[in-house]
Amino acid sequence: MTKIIFISSDGNETAVEAADGDNVMRAALANDVDGIVAECGGSMMCATCHCYVDEAWTDAVGARADGEEDMLESAACEVRPTSRLSCQIRIRPELDGLIIHLPESQT
C-alpha cells in the first residue's frame, strides 16, 4: 500500500492508503476525500478530478498523459504547471507519501 496525502483548499489533510496500480482519483473516492468529483469515472472525459501535485513530487509523478492538457482546459479552477487529472496518476511504491493539493471547486 502507498500513502497519499490530500490537502484541501482550506488546508485540511487527509491521508489514505492506496493500492499500487490503482489511480489517485479512485483512492480519493474509495476514502471519501472531499474535493474529487470524478463525474466521468476516470475515463478522462471531464476535469472533475483536477488536482495539483505538490511541487516536491512533480518529477516522481511524471508528465501529463496525452490528452490530459486538453481536458484541463475545462477545469473549474485555475490550471497551474502542477495541475493533473488525478485519474491519470498511477499509484506505485515510489509515490509513497505523495502530496496532492485539491482546488476550491470541481464544478
Tens of pLDDT, residues 21-51: 999 999 999 999 999 999 999 999 999 999 9
Between CA 107 and CA 92 the distance in angstroms is: 29
Return d(Cα 40, Cα 33) in angstroms, integer: 17
DSSP letter string, 11-36:
S-EEEEEE-TTSBHHHHHHHTT-TT-
Beta bridge partners of 101: 7, 52
Determine the average pLDDT of the residues in 73-94: 97
CATH T-level fold of 2-101: Ubiquitin-like (UB roll) (3.10.20)
Q: Which of 39, 40, 52 is nearest to 85 (CA)?
A: 52
Confidence at residue 107, expressed as pLDDT on a 0 to 100 scale = 81
Name residues whose C-beta falls within 8 Å of residue 53's C-beta, 6 or more positions apart in sequence: 61, 82, 83, 84, 89, 98, 99, 100, 101
| Residue range 1-29: mean pLDDT, rounded | 97
Kindly list the domain boundaries of the chain, sorted by start residue. 2-101
Distance CA 59, CA 70 (A): 21
Q: How far, in Å, CA of 30 to CA of 69, rounded?
A: 25
Spatial separation of the C-alpha atoms in residues 97 and 37, rounded to whole Å? 22
